[in-house]
Every structure is written in structure tokens, then in C-alpha cells.
Chain A
Amino acid sequence: MASKLTQSNSAGWAFALPGFGLIALFIVVPFFFAFGLSLTNQRLVSPNPTEFVGLANYKNLLGVGMITLEPERNDAGEILRGQDGEIQYPRVRNYTRKNPDYPHLDGMREWFRWSSGDNAKVVLAKDVVFVKALKNTLTFVVIVAPLQASLALLLALLINQKLRGINVFRTIYFMPVVISIVVVSLLWRFIYSGDNGLLNNILGALTFGLFEPVDWLGQPSTALGAIIAMSIWQAVGFHMVIWLSGLQTISPVLYEAARIEGSSAWQTFKYVTWPGLRNTAVLILIVITMQAFAIFAQIDVMTSGGPLDSTQTLVFQAVERGYGKQDISGGSVISVILFLIVLSISLIQRWLTREKN
């Protein structure tokens, strides 16, 4: 079959060639390049020759460690406290800067800490920005995937009714999907703006001025949440359409059968709709997960990873390092790690949602 195709259908292959060529050039080749470059110290522009460094880049990125800090005590053994009564601990850098007793912590920085009794447990990371980006991305995915999927399903169910003017709603919900994400992000920067943003104004009006304006994108506690909300809103229409196509594959006569049996709305959903949407659900979960892992544009336009790295994400870091800091190998490492994460999550999802028999 294949040999016959390649021999007798040269015109067809000629037509396919530009497409194949572009895909190879911009997707397949870079994919393997990323693997290769991640094992070197390649920079975007550099006078020095490229060296093979093995897995050193990965170690630098993924290295984490932990130390337990005991309180500083005076000669009598009492715990030293600061002006506000907080316990005084030795500085972390004492352990991480060329301390021969702790070679494995060398070069690490503090990521976060918590106290356990009088002691403080400190988690260290070789690359704090990267681990923050990793954590933010995972947070983003874990919140966006279920929320966006269920919200999209809800919209699809609402829109899958025979009502006059329902197409208007379909259009409205789908509109954010067709608008460029950059434009959407810019708009939402105004909405979230601290001094005169739409969101603050609305909340102020709803609470008769009691609401204190918040700089949504300007503080670490709200920035990621704000981006999550906006991202869910932006792509929900896309997944709504996929749900909708799934809903329309369910035979209407099944709904009639359920109605005859006296099935309530919830029972109908549980026994007819949801089982009929199984395959759609798998598709949507995988697509949302992959899209969520790739979050970039919103970050780039709205926060550039700030404030205080609270909205760093993997792809943003990959771009930032590869092009911002001209550290192509560093960016490649992140890309490869992201690829492995998404691959394993997709495989797990497929396994979990497999057809059981």
C-alpha cells in the first residue's frame, strides 16, 4: 500500500511536500534540537564553542534540598528572639555558600520555609525561579482543567436547547476564542487595573464603595488567580463547542425514553448525557491540560512573570531564558521537561479513562 502510494502518486506527494516540509522544519526538527541542545551549554550568540555537558542543565534546574535550622541560642541555651519576638535563625547562605559540610546544598537558594516547633524547615532549590514556575504552572493546570471543563460543559448544556435566539448565545460564548489572546490579555489588563479598572469599579459599585480597590495583577497573592480566571473565561467557549458536538451525538430518542421513565433532569444527565460524553470528556481533559501547561501569552502581556515571580510559568521561563537571556540550552531543558510532564500526564489520563470491560 505504502510503496504503491510512493511510486504511483508522485503528484500527491509533491502537493504534500510544502506542508510536510514546514511541519518538519518548524516542529519536528526543533523538537529534536531541543533534546540535543538541552545536553549542551549552547547560547544564542557566543564566541565560545559549544560543549557537551550531559545532564548538568537538568541538575541545575531540578536540584532541591532541605535543611533544618535550629534557633540561635545564647550561652545559657535560651532562644534568641528579635524585636518582635520572632525566633532568630542562622542565615541559610551559611549552608549553601561553599560550606564543606553541605556540598549537596552548594549554590542553592531558599524557596520556602515553615516552622516545626522551634526549628525551621527550609526547602532549597538550585533554581528558585524555575521551581516557582513549575509550581505555578501545576497550580494553573490543576485549577483550570476541571473548572474550565465543567464550566464549558455547563454552557454546552444550556446552549444545547431549542430556544429562540440561542445562536446569539453560542456566538457570544465563542467570541473570546476567535479574538487573539494578546488582545484579550491587553483588555483584561485594563479590567484588572488597580486604579481605575473595570473589576474594581464593578465591585465598588456593588458594595456601595465599601470595596477597597485591589491591584489584581500587581500583588503576588492575586496575580496568578486573576490570570487563571481570565484564562478560563477566554477558552471556555472553545471547549463548549467540543462538548456541544459530543452532546449532539447522543440520540434524542434516548432522552425521550428517559423522559417516559420519569427521569429527572439530574438523573437524565447522570444516566444518559454523561455516559454519552465519555469520549468527549477524555478529549477535552487532555486538550485543556496540554493547553494549560503551555500558558504563555497571558503572562507575557499581563505580568511578565511578576510580581515577585508569582506568575512565572514554564513556557514563559523557557522563552525568557532562551531569548531574553540568550540561554538556548536553558530554554531547551525547560521545554524538554515540559514535554515529559505533558506526555506522562496524557498517558495517565488515557489510562485512567480507558474503556473498562
Chain B
Amino acid sequence: MANLSLQNLQKSYGSAHVIKGVDIEIADGEFTVFVGPSGCGKSTLLRMIAGLEDISGGDLYIGDRQVNEVQPKERGIAMVFQSYAIFPHMTVRENIGFGLTIEGVKKDEWNERVNEAARILQMEHLLDRRPSQLSGGQRQRVAIGRAIVRKPAVFLFDEPLSNLDAALRMDMRMEIGKLHKQLDATMIYVTHDQVEAMTLADKIVVLKDGKVMQIGAPMELYHKPANLFVARFIGSPAMNLLDVTVAESTATGHIVQNGSLDPVEIATDTQAKPGDKLILGIRPQYLDPSHDPSAGKLHGTVSITERLGTETILDLTLTDGSKLVAALPEDAIFKPEETVSLTFDPARAHLFQPEDA
């Protein structure tokens, strides 16, 4: 069993608190992604799980065992680093078999397992090369090979793809996803790329400043962001956030409005009273612009149309001067400076408290 349990995990460097009490449950075989902006403590958290950083407070369980003080190799984990960390003087074969060499595995089994790992990663033809003769993607594959050869219960990835170019990143992303299905192992994956997080994860943990902002399945975070931070972080293009005022509170939510938004009722459990300022969030994908200036509740003019082929991005300026982005599924013709209105399903909109600074 390789479920993980992080209980009020904390880390400080001297007086700097970097991880401020993190609780996460990770089930056996689950693909969990830690996302968050740079410096939020993703790597630190992962390295605490790996045993490369001491744990300053709280408990870490792998399986049923509390492993706070356990050496990395005893934790049954393998780690893939952003900078590959493959040994430059060893061949690919020796690199992949490194863990087995350390363990003292016999020659026959050693060969068998290295070949098996190479087969899974489709790199049998590279086995006798040296790292200097490999491309970035191939190097990262060697690092993954070194991780899978020991058949660990938990895989830890720290931004494994961020040194690769965009196309390769997509390929490798899919391969890692495939690998997860094939090996059926618990994987924890750190990235600051929310697309990677959305596509790979069974469960996403959004971190900010060493605290968990939300934990959930990718679509859960997408459709029900718990706070402004998650709302901003997940989804591309980013969610539109409009300052609105509560006109009236109803049993299920609030009626809100502003200079460019006609009053609309949004169902929410966010607490507010009439006159309060709230923030209305609508994903660009759920906005439906119309040439008819009075068809929708939001009013503005088109600034730029970006046609990406798969979708069209409209940059709009609302009548109160704020900016809005709408993403349309197909090619749509809106001329710059054209006055438009936008409709949206109030059920797809969210209300958030304005963040206190």
C-alpha cells in the first residue's frame, strides 16, 4: 500500500516559514499534482516527502508508517528532478541501473530489469550512449528509467518537463500519463504549468505561500474554485474577474451589478449584504457575445480579435472601462470597435470575496 498522508506538515528555514501546515491525503495509485506559483513551496513539500529535507513539524505517513525520520531509500520512493540529475560519466544503461547497482542486484536480474525499463520507455537503442549524446527529452527519459527500474511505490516528479520545448513537453506529458496507467503507482508531480496539472492529475493540490488553497479533481477546481486565487490560477485564458456591488440578497444568492453589468442573480453561499463589494468570476469560455447591443447583460466594445484556429479570443473593453476576455469555440467575426453585449449562464458564474491584501 502506498497511500500518503500529510498531516499539518511544516517546514521552516530558521525564522522563514516555508510550509505552513499542509494536510493532504493521497490514495494508492493516485496521480496527484502540486501546482502553484514560483516560490510557493511545491518543491520543498515534495523534497520533504522524498526525505531530502527535514520535516520541521507535523507527520508524514507513507502507507501506515510514519516516515518523518526515515532515510529516503527506506521510504520506497523514486524521484525525477527538473535538471534530470543523470550521471554524466555513466552510459544510459548504467544510469538506469544505478539503483540496482547500489542495491547489489545480480547481473542477470540487473540486465533484465534495465532492459524492461528501457522497453517501457522505448529507449533500448540508446542504452550504450552517454548522456552528452542525448537530447533533453531523452535525458529526462533516462531519469524516469532510473526511477521505474526499482519499482518504487511512490514516484515523485519535480517539474520534470520544464526544461523541454513545448512540443516535446506535450509528448512527454502524455507518456508520463501512460506510464502512470501502466505502472499503476502513486505519483506526485510538481509543476507550475496548470495545463500539465489539468491533463495529468487525478487530484490537484493548489498551493500558495506554503498553504493549501484547494484540493480536488481537475474539473472540480475548474468549475468550483474555492477562492479567488484558485479561480485565477486554473483555466486558460484566465477567468474574468469583475468588481460588482450587491444590489439585493436572495435566499440562494445575491443580485449583483456594476456599470457595465445589468443586475443578475448569482446563486452562491458567499456571505454579503446589499451595498457590499464582491468579485464576479466568469470563464471566457462561458461568455456568449452578440452583435445585438441589448441581447445580453454585459455591455462593451471589441478591442482585438485573436483567431487561433481552434478558438477565437475576443478582447473587450466594458462600458465601465474594465477589460474582459471571451473565448468562442469557432471562428466568429467581430470587428474592432464594434459594440456588443454578452450573455452568460448565471450558474456558470462565481462570486468571491475581494481578497484582503
With known contacts A260-B52, A260-B73, A261-B150, A253–B99 Cβ distance under 8 A = no
Query: Given the complex, which residues of B lie within 8 Å of A272, measured CB to CB?
Result: 87
B58-66, B75-83, B228-236, B256-264 - interface stretch:
B75-83
Indicate if the CB atoms of B87 and A271 lie closer than 8 Å.
Answer: yes
Interface size on A, residues (CB 8 A): 18
Indicate if the CB atoms of A257 and B81 lie closer than 8 Å.
Answer: yes
- Please report the C-alpha to C-alpha distance between residue A250 and residue B71 in the assembled complex, in whole angstroms: 23
Query: Given the complex, which residues of A lie within 8 Å of B146, measured CB to CB?
Result: 257, 261
| B298 CB, min distance to chain A CBs, angstroms | 50
Q: Mark B77-109, 1 if CB is under 8 A from A, else 0.
A: 111010101111110000000110111000000
Query: Given the complex, which residues of B lie within 8 Å of A278, measured CB to CB?
Result: 89
With known contacts A262-B73, A262-B102, A267-B102, A253–B87 Cβ distance under 8 A = no
Q: Which of A259, A261, A264 contacts B52 (CB 8 A)?
A: A259
The answer to the question of B72 belonging to the interface, with a C-beta cut-off of 8 Å to chain A, is yes
Indicate if the CB atoms of B89 and A253 lie closer than 8 Å.
Answer: no
Indicate if the CB atoms of B50 and A260 lie closer than 8 Å.
Answer: yes
Query: Given the complex, which residues of A lie within 8 Å of B77, measured CB to CB?
Result: 260
Interface size on B, residues (CB 8 A): 25
| B145 CB, min distance to chain A CBs, angstroms | 13
Interface residues of B in 295-322 (CB under 8 A from A): none
| A272 CB, min distance to chain B CBs, angstroms | 7
Interface residues of B in 262-287 (CB under 8 A from A): none
The answer to the question of A324 belonging to the interface, with a C-beta cut-off of 8 Å to chain B, is no
With known contacts A267-B102, A271-B98, A260–B87 Cβ distance under 8 A = no
Interface residues of A in 242-290 (CB under 8 A from B): 251, 253-254, 256-264, 267, 271-272, 275-276, 278
Query: Given the complex, which residues of B lie within 8 Å of A253, measured CB to CB?
Result: 81, 83, 85
- Nearest chain-B residue to A275 (Cβ)? B89
Query: Given the complex, which residues of A lie within 8 Å of B79, measured CB to CB?
Result: 256-257, 260
Indicate if the CB atoms of A261 and B99 lie closer than 8 Å.
Answer: yes
| B237 CB, min distance to chain A CBs, angstroms | 35
Interface residues of B in 87-142 (CB under 8 A from A): 87-90, 98-99, 101-103
| A184 CB, min distance to chain B CBs, angstroms | 38
Q: Which of A256, A261, A263, A275 contacts B81 (CB 8 A)?
A: A256
| B159 CB, min distance to chain A CBs, angstroms | 12
Query: Given the complex, which residues of A lie within 8 Å of B85, measured CB to CB?
Result: 251, 253-254, 256-257
- Please report the C-alpha to C-alpha distance between residue A254 and residue B88 in the assembled complex, in whole angstroms: 10
Q: Mark A111-142, 1 if CB is under 8 A from B, else 0.
A: 00000000000000000000000000000000
Indicate if the CB atoms of B83 and A251 lie closer than 8 Å.
Answer: yes
Q: Which of B73, B83, B89, B90 contacts A261 (CB 8 A)?
A: B73
- Please report the C-alpha to C-alpha distance between residue A347 and residue B27 in the assembled complex, in whole angstroms: 61
- Please report the C-alpha to C-alpha distance between residue A258 and residue B73 in the assembled complex, in whole angstroms: 10
Could you give 27 example pairs across A and B, Cβ below 8 Å? Answer: A251-B85, A253-B85, A254-B85, A256-B52, A256-B85, A257-B79, A257-B146, A258-B98, A258-B102, A259-B52, A259-B73, A260-B51, A260-B72, A260-B77, A260-B79, A261-B73, A261-B98, A261-B99, A261-B150, A262-B71, A262-B72, A262-B73, A262-B74, A262-B99, A271-B90, A271-B102, A275-B90
Known contacts A254-B85, A256-B79, A272-B87, then 14 further A-B pairs from the complex at CB < 8 Å, ordered by chain A residue? A251-B83, A253-B85, A256-B81, A257-B87, A259-B73, A260-B72, A260-B73, A260-B78, A261-B78, A262-B72, A262-B99, A263-B102, A275-B89, A276-B89
State the 10 A-B residue pairs at the shortest beta-carbon distance, nearest first. A262-B73, A257-B85, A275-B89, A261-B99, A253-B85, A260-B72, A260-B79, A263-B102, A261-B102, A253-B81
